[in-house]
Amino acid sequence: MRPTRRKPSLPEAGVPERIVSAATGLFCEKGYAATSVAEIVARAGVTKPVLYYYYGNKAGLFRHLFVRHLESFREMLERVMAEAKTTRERLVLLTREQLSYGRRHFQEMRFILGTVLGPRRDFPRMKLEEPHQINRRLFARLFSEGMASGELRRLDIDEVCAAYMGVVLLASLRQIHQPARAPQADLAERLVDILLSGVGRERPEGDDR
């Protein structure tokens, strides 16, 4: 039976954020299925009716976390698209923002990656593809505009998006696994330059090897 969403008698400031923080940590540490509502409210310092009031149930809280973090990421993408002018500037700023977000919110990054890459049976039913496709369309727009302006070669958009997202994903995973490692100030620029220039050696004209 679905819990009744009764308004808490004395709601406190910051309660939703405490619940979100507690749930994110527990879902990362134990997984969704192994985390109980009792554990979430104990860590957040609230009661079960408070959680039910704000999020309905554990599944509703999980969906809220997933959508919230992806929407935050999308807002960052849109801001970068508006602020930077050239494709390289956009890519550098976008990469820097993603790596910075991963350092500041590595628990949230672990949560998102675990949800996207983990077995679907371990999570409540929800449409994972829709928010992901929204972000993917923003990446595609960035590269399409770069090709239209002549800054980039005309290549398959899906393959270019996959190459860029793969590079940033691996860099983000390294940060998650090594959170104490000092960030490299110019890492975003170097990753983008490798992507744009490639890693193959320059061949003399007529050299087909």
Choosing among 3.40.47.10, 1.10.357.10, 2.40.50.140, 3.30.70.100, the CATH entry for 66-197 is 1.10.357.10
CA distances from 145 to 28, 58, 87, 192 (A): 37, 42, 8, 16
Q: What is the pLDDT along the chain (209 residues), one digit of tens a residue?
A: 555 555 555 456 689 999 999 998 898 888 888 899 999 999 999 999 999 999 999 999 988 988 888 788 788 888 888 888 899 999 999 898 888 877 777 777 777 777 766 666 667 776 665 656 777 788 898 899 999 999 999 999 999 988 988 888 888 777 767 766 656 778 889 999 988 888 766 655 655 55
Complete DSSP assignment for 96-113: HHHHHHHHHTHHHHHHHH
Same fold, 8-56 and 66-197: no
Domain spans, the chain: 8-56, 66-197
How far is C-alpha 141 from the geometric centre of its chain's CA atoms?
18
Structurally, what CATH architecture does the domain formed by 8-56 represent?
Answer: Orthogonal Bundle (1.10)
- Counted residue by residue, the chain has a size of 209
